[in-house]
Amino acid sequence: MSLSEQVQAPGQVQYTRGGLNESQHEIHVAVVDPAGWVVASCGDADLVTFPRSTSKPVQALPLARVAPELPADELAIACASHAGTPAHLAVVRRLLARSGSTAADLLCGAHPPFDAQAAAELIRTGTAPTPLHHNCSGKHAGMLLSCALYDWPKEGYTSHDHPLQVKIRAAHAQLAGVAPEHVHAGTDGCSVPAFALPLSGMARIFARLADPRSDAVLGRIFSAMTIYPELVAGPGRLDTTLMPLVPGLVTKMGAEGFFGMGLRQTSRGPLGVAFKIMDGGERARPFVALAVLEALGVPLTPELRALAPSVQRNWAGREVGEVQVKLALHWRPEAAL
């Protein structure tokens, strides 16, 4: 439910060098309450775009519903874009074993681990990456278990017309408040369907994820992700470092500059946030996340500010420029402080 009457100017993250603007990223943000009302925005709150991996908590919803006793760490890895560390792979293997599956059943493809140490170890030992190392292998392992528990075929589980993917598409529509026929479908990097939603719709999903009065199954997903942030991403990555620094915060990165946040504790109650960096510039993500958190009343501690330093330094440590965030949230009048 968007209340925006006109599209506001988008935000910007600008990189300067020698006082001159060298490059910039265009930002669109939606802030939504659990009822679906857009309470604040920057740019186009109804921009339709692909959340990519930010959808993973929704993609894990059928699993969480059908497997209420699933350990929280396995539910967290099903929501993860993990870094391929040995700790990550151990949980994925455990989740795979529940459906009698192996890495050979994963249809996500393979890529080197995101974690530099894990990637270097593969190179050192001359070992090729397997589908287990793919950042989406936990999601796929969860999908295979969902198929087993719903008595659906595991074969073709990534197809758009597979019962699991049909159910996941319906969950996106229902949680986002979008008519199912208006959910545009593409194909993600890991071969499962990718569903495009308005920013406001994805923010609504994160508001409901953070709202303790919401669906109890969403509450289990919130708990799993916040109890095990190290499984959701990995060492040094934004989800893993950010969630423990803000009480009641759940976050999920998506490719091409998408980001979702759910805040359980704000002066306005639970809120959901979705933002898109239009050029896909991942480097701008922590700057936007902190700017939005600050606008929502979260104090920026030194630990938080360290995630997005405003001073640019070269390899010799010399100060060479700045990062400037120009992002003004426009509040719905009755929602403003």
Residue 1 included in any domain: no
Tokens found for residue 51: 């959340």
Q: How many domains does the chain have?
A: 1
Decide: helix, strand or coil at residue 296.
coil
Q: What is the pLDDT of residue 334?
A: 66
Residue 4 lies in a domain: no
The total of other beta-carbon atoms located within 10 Å of residue 185's CB is 13
Residue whose pair of structure tokens reads 């929602």 in the numeric block: 335
Instruction: Identify whether 6 is part of a domain.
Output: no
Beta-strand ranges (E) seen in the chain are 11-17, 20-32, 38-42, 48-49, 184-187, 193-198, 249-254, 258-263, 271-277, 311-313, 319-326, 330-331
Q: Which domain holds residue 57?
A: 11-335
Q: Tokens 């990456």: give the residue.
A: 129
pLDDT of residue 6: 58
Residue 287 identity (one-letter amino acid): F
Tens-place pLDDT, residues 28-51? 999 999 999 999 999 999 999 999
Q: Is residue 212 part of a domain?
A: yes
Specify if 38 maps to a domain: yes
Give pLDDT tens digits for 158-168.
Answer: 999 999 999 99
pLDDT of residue 3: 43
What is the pTM for the complete model shown?
A: 0.95
Low-confidence ranges of the chain (pLDDT < 70): 1-7, 334-337
Q: What is the CATH number of the domain that holds 174?
A: 3.40.710
Within a domain: 2: no
Largest CA distance in the chain: 62
Which pLDDT value is given to residue 333?
79
Specify if 114 maps to a domain. Answer: yes
